[in-house]
Amino acid sequence: MLLLPMLVLLIADRLIAPHYRLAVNESDSLPGTVFLVKTGVLPRCGPVMGEHVQIQMRRDARWYSGMRLLKVAKGCPGDRIRLEGRKVYVNDWFAGEALPMLEDGTPMAMVSAGVIPEGRYYLWASHPSSFDSRYAEFSLIADQQIIGTATRIF
Q: What is the mean pLDDT of residues 90-108?
A: 93
Residues 6+ apart with CB under 8 A from 105: none
Q: How much is the pLDDT for 2?
A: 64
Q: How much is the pLDDT for 10?
A: 76
Residue 93 pLDDT > 70:
yes
Q: What is the mean pLDDT of residues 72-85?
A: 96
Q: What's the rounded Cα separation, in Å, for the pair 58 and 66?
A: 5
Q: C-alpha 16: how far from its chain's center? A: 23
What torsion do the CA atoms of 79, 38, 5, 27 make, to the nearest 10 degrees?
-20
Q: How much is the pLDDT for 17?
A: 64
Residue 103 pLDDT > 90:
no
pLDDT per position as a tens digit, 31-54:
999 999 999 999 988 766 789 999
In percent, how much of the chain has pLDDT > 70? 95
Q: How much is the pLDDT for 121?
A: 96
Q: What is the mean pLDDT of residues 134-145?
A: 94
Domains of the chain: 3-152 (2.10.109.10)
Q: How much is the pLDDT for 62?
A: 81
Q: What pairs with residue 124 in β-bridges?
A: 72
